[in-house]
Amino acid sequence: MRGDREESLPLAPGAEFDLIRRFYLGGRAEPRPDVLVGAGDDCAVVAGDGIALSSDMSVEGVHFRRDWLSLREIGYRAAAGALSDLAAVAARPIGVLVSLALPSEDAGEGAVELMCGIREVTEQVGGVVLGGDTTRTTGPLVVDVTVVGEAGWPVLRSGARRGDEVWVTGELGGAAAAVRALLRGESPTPAARERFARPVPRVREALWLAERGIPRAMVDLSDGLAGDALHVSTASRVAVLLARELVPVHPAALAAAGEDEDEALRLALGGGEDYELCFTAEMGRVPAHRAEFERETGTRLTCVGRIGGGSGVWWSDPEGRRRPLGFRAYQHFTEDT
Q: CB-wise, 60 or 257, nearer to a second copy?
A: 60
x/- mask, a second copy, residues 138-177, rule CB under 8 A, reads xxx-x-x-xxxx-x--x-xxx-------------------
Largest Cα span, the chain: 70
Residue 57 CB, shortest distance to a second copy, in Å, is 4
Q: Torsion-angle region of residue 90: left (phi > 0), alpha (psi -120 to 50) or beta?
A: left
Binding to a second copy, residues 39-58 (CB under 8 A): 40-58
Q: CB-wise, 59 or 283, nearer to a second copy?
A: 59
Q: For residue 287, give every residue at least 6 positions away whose Cβ sits within 8 Å of its Cβ, in sequence order, or none.
A: none
292 counts as binding a second copy under rule CB under 8 A: no
Residue 191 CB, shortest distance to a second copy, in Å, is 27
Closest by CA to 168, choosing from 221, 94, 100, 232, is 221
- Selected from 61, 163, 213, 309, the binder of a second copy by CB under 8 A is 61
Binding to a second copy, residues 103-122 (CB under 8 A): 107
Residue 193 CB, shortest distance to a second copy, in Å, is 24
Closest by CA to 169, choosing from 330, 301, 3, 2, is 301
Count interface residues toward a second copy (CB under 8 A).
Answer: 83
Q: Which stretch binds a second copy (CB under 8 A): 95-103, 163-171, 266-274, 278-286?
A: 95-103
Q: CB-wise, 88 or 256, nearer to a second copy?
A: 88
CA–CA dist 38, 18 (Å, integer): 17
CA–CA dist 330, 271 (Å, integer): 7
| Beta-carbon-side half-sphere exposure of residue 287 (alpha carbons within 13 Å) | 5
Could you tell me whether strands 239-242 and 301-308 are parallel, antiparallel, or unpaired per DSSP bridges?
A: antiparallel
Closest by CA to 253, choosing from 172, 157, 143, 334, is 172
Q: Which stretch binds a second copy (CB under 8 A): 72-80, 126-134, 174-182, 246-254?
A: 126-134
Binding to a second copy, residues 73-92 (CB under 8 A): 85-86, 88-89, 91
The phi, psi pair for 39, rounded to 5°, reads: -65, 145
Closest by CA to 130, choosing from 191, 82, 179, 194, is 82
Q: CB-wise, 78 or 265, nearer to a second copy?
A: 78
131 counts as binding a second copy under rule CB under 8 A: yes
Binding to a second copy, residues 209-268 (CB under 8 A): 218-220, 227, 230-231, 233-237
- Selected from 2, 3, 6, 14, the binder of a second copy by CB under 8 A is 14
Q: Which stretch binds a second copy (CB under 8 A): 69-77, 118-126, 135-143, 247-255?
A: 135-143
- C-alpha dist (Å) from residue 169 to 15, 23, 218, 298: 44, 33, 11, 10
